[in-house]
Amino acid sequence: MAVREIRKYGDPVLRAKANPIADVDEEIRALATDMLDTLAKAEGVGLAGPQVGEERRIIVVHPPPPADDEEREEPRVYLNPEIVEKRGPQETEEEGCLSIPGIYETVRRPHAVRVRARSLEGEDLEFDAEGMLARIFLHEIDHLDGVLFIDKIGPMRRALLKRRLKEMAEE
């Protein structure tokens, strides 16, 4: 168990296309544990393999509770996750990213998705997610293809952020 360093904007690993995971072995289980620890320490809602320097198709997801008086679910690990269906309407919400600290921008994403993935126990999963949870899956699965949320904001907003992003990349 270990908290890993979260890679920041400018690190080339964040732009790599991550590789599928063929077998759930000790190495993958250890990586999953590290990612859960890292996400908990960062108090985030999601984390993808490349963010801890691993070009593997693995994400961990820990959505906030649906309402203030409801309990938060345990975080979950998904291997080789993919979006198999997107359903509207498009919604615009503010997003941030543990790899791009301090920057929050509104991003348009579909309201609901159907996700296919494998569990850490090796089961094939297929399920629907909507709202905030759908957004987390879309954001984290984008990471596996080297896509960041700032790629999805308008050109005006991106122009305004250009200098801050350049500074971050040079750190």
Q: Which residues bind Zn ion (CB under 5 A)?
A: 97
CA atoms within 13 A on the CB side of 145: 11
In the complex, minimum distance from the CB of residue 103 to Zn ion, in angstroms, rounded to a whole number: 11
In the complex, minimum distance from the CB of residue 28 to Zn ion, in angstroms, rounded to a whole number: 21
Compare residues 52 and 97 and give the one whose CB is closer to Zn ion.
Answer: 97
In the complex, minimum distance from the CB of residue 126 to Zn ion, in angstroms, rounded to a whole number: 24
Compare residues 69 and 109 and give the one whose CB is closer to Zn ion.
Answer: 109
Asked if residues 140 and 47 have their Cβ atoms less than 8 Å apart, the reply is yes
Measured between alpha carbons, how far is 67 from 120 in angstroms, rounded to an integer?
28
Measured between alpha carbons, how far is 129 from 136 in angstroms, rounded to an integer?
9
Residue among 93, 140, 167, 170 flagged as catalytic: 140
Shortest CA distance to 75 belongs to which of 41, 52, 100, 101? Answer: 41
Compare residues 24 and 150 and give the one whose CB is closer to Zn ion.
Answer: 150
Active site (annotated) includes residue 54 = no
Q: Report the residue closest to Zn ion, judged by CB.
A: 97
Measured between alpha carbons, how far is 123 from 143 in angstroms, rounded to an integer?
23
Shortest CA distance to 34 belongs to which of 17, 46, 13, 52? Answer: 52
In the complex, minimum distance from the CB of residue 143 to Zn ion, in angstroms, rounded to a whole number: 6
Shortest CA distance to 160 belongs to which of 86, 117, 105? Answer: 105
Compare residues 24 and 75 and give the one whose CB is closer to Zn ion.
Answer: 75
E strand residue ranges, the chain: 46-48, 58-61, 76-95, 105-118, 124-130
Query: What residues act catalytically?
Result: 140
